[in-house]
């Protein structure tokens, strides 16, 4: 009987040790998951946060296998009291020892963020606030009148939408919202404003560029679509841009919006962003376009087409000269 108890105790100890070392290993295979980005939230250690809270949040984010093993390792390695406040980029491909090493290093005062083309003002606000750069909604609610002296293109506009230039930036954690905004506005000024400002209708062209950014992928197709939309405008036709309706339905926050797809019933929504019912441009851009989209808007291509759509399966832009041909394309590609 004693032998069985002893054998059971040894077996339990072996299993316990095996579990401990198993739990120390990465949650995901090496390289299997990207670093936590602003889409999922940077991992932030706040001042005064304890080992229990840090372990619980690491587990909630799917970065470790066991809270208990994380706590035991931190205690045994002498790091339990060494966690540093800051913003960290960690991923599920790191082991618990590696994660502890990262989180006990000096906290990062800066984060690197990539703002992709086509993000909206609200999307960028969410990205910056999730990374700890600004307070939530401080960018969307920022009173930018004070910046108009430095950025002449802001005079006469009602929104920063379209001016927050997509790029990769370094931001300080807990930055003033004006500092973050100026970084992106400076980039807009340096990269596209010179060409845009040469056009008397530059704001309309910026709106057009935002349509192209959201609707079409290939540069040559963007040029053709730019020509189509400008042609529709001259003919007094509705622009009929689905992306503008998506912007309306998602209340300006496209990323993660489940209402983005446009249905037939949406074509009657009352709004100046409904380009099926209202003639002309939307009141503001519907996204922040990149350099290529702005270039396409400034260099539209003439064509015999009047209609276009994006194929459901491939995303390819399909053009048509007549409404009848366009309707056939809708049946075939949508």
Predicted confidence band of residue 334 (pLDDT cuts 50, 70, 90): confident
Residue 7 has pLDDT above 80, yes or no: no
Q: What average pLDDT does the segment 297-323 reach?
A: 96
CA–CA distance, 302 with 190 (Å, rounded to integer)? 29
* Architecture of the domain made up of 2-33+40-103: 2-Layer Sandwich (3.30)
Within 27-95, residue ranges assigned H as helices are 51-60, 67-76
Domain residue spans of the chain: 2-33+40-103, 110-197, 202-333
CA atoms within 13 A of residue 314's CA, in its CB half-sphere: 8
* Helices and strands, number each (H, E), in the chain: 12, 6
pLDDT for the residue 106: 64
The answer to whether 294 and 199 have CB atoms below 8 angstroms apart is no
- Fold agreement between 2-33+40-103 and 110-197: yes
The answer to whether 273 and 247 have CB atoms below 8 angstroms apart is yes
Q: Tens digits of per-residue pLDDT, 165-216?
A: 999 998 988 889 999 999 999 999 999 999 999 999 999 999 999 999 999 9
Q: If residue 38 lies in a helix (H) or strand (E), which one and from where to where?
A: none
Q: What average pLDDT does the segment 117-125 reach?
A: 97
Predicted confidence band of residue 33 (pLDDT cuts 50, 70, 90): very low
**Of 3-12, 78-87, 219-228, where does mean pLDDT reach its minimum?**
3-12
CA–CA distance, 296 with 71 (Å, rounded to integer)? 55
- Report how far apart, in Å, the C-alpha atoms of 255 and of each of 14, 39, 160, 198, 260 are: 48, 9, 18, 32, 9
Higher-scoring residue by pLDDT: 193, 38 = 193
Predicted confidence band of residue 10 (pLDDT cuts 50, 70, 90): confident
* Architecture of the domain made up of 110-197: 2-Layer Sandwich (3.30)
pLDDT for the residue 34: 43
pLDDT for the residue 107: 59
- Mean residue pLDDT across the chain: 90
Higher-scoring residue by pLDDT: 247, 40 = 247
Within the chain, residue ranges assigned H as helices are 2-24, 51-60, 67-76, 96-103, 121-130, 177-188, 194-197, 202-215, 219-235, 242-249, 291-298, 323-333
DSSP state letters, 214-258? HH--SHHHHHHHHHHHHHHHHHT-----HHHHHHHHTTT--TT-T
pLDDT for the residue 40: 45
pLDDT for the residue 331: 95
Highest mean pLDDT among 52-66, 101-115, 278-292 belongs to 278-292
């Amino acid at each position: 009987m004693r032998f069985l108890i002893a054998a059971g105790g040894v077996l339990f100890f072996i299993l316990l040790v095996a579990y401990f070392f198993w739990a120390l290993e990465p949650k995901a295979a090496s390289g299997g998951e990207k670093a936590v980005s602003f889409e999922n939230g940077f991992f932030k250690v706040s001042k005064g946060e304890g080992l229990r809270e840090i372990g619980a949040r690491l587990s909630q984010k799917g970065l470790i296998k066991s809270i208990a093993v994380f706590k035991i390792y931190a205690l045994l390695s002498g790091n339990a009291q060494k966690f540093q406040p800051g913003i960290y980029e960690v991923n599920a491909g790191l082991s618990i020892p590696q994660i502890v090493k990262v989180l006990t290093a000096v906290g990062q005062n800066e984060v690197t963020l990539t703002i992709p083309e086509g993000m909206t003002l609200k999307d960028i606000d969410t990205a910056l606030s999730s990374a700890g750069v600004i307070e939530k909604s401080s960018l969307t609610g920022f009173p930018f009148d004070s910046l108009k002296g430095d950025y002449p293109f802001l005079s006469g506009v009602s929104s920063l939408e379209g001016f927050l230039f997509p790029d990769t930036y370094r931001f300080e954690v807990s930055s003033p919202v004006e500092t973050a905004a100026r970084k992106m506005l400076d980039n807009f000024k340096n990269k596209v404003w010179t060409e845009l400002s040469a056009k008397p209708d530059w704001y309309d062209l910026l709106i057009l560029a935002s349509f192209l950014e959201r609707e079409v992928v290939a540069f040559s197709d963007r040029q053709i679509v730019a020509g189509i939309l400008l042609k529709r405008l001259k003919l007094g036709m509705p622009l009929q841009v689905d992306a503008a309706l998506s912007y309306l339905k998602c209340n300006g926050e496209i990323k993660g919006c489940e209402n983005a797809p446009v249905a037939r019933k949406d074509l009657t929504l009352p709004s100046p962003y409904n380009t099926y019912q209202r003639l002309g441009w939307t009141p503001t851009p519907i996204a922040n376009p990149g350099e290529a989209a702005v270039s396409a808007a400034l260099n539209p291509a003439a064509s015999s087409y009047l209609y276009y759509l994006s194929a459901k399966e491939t995303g390819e832009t399909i053009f048509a000269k007549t409404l009848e041909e366009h309707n056939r394309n809708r049946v075939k590609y949508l």
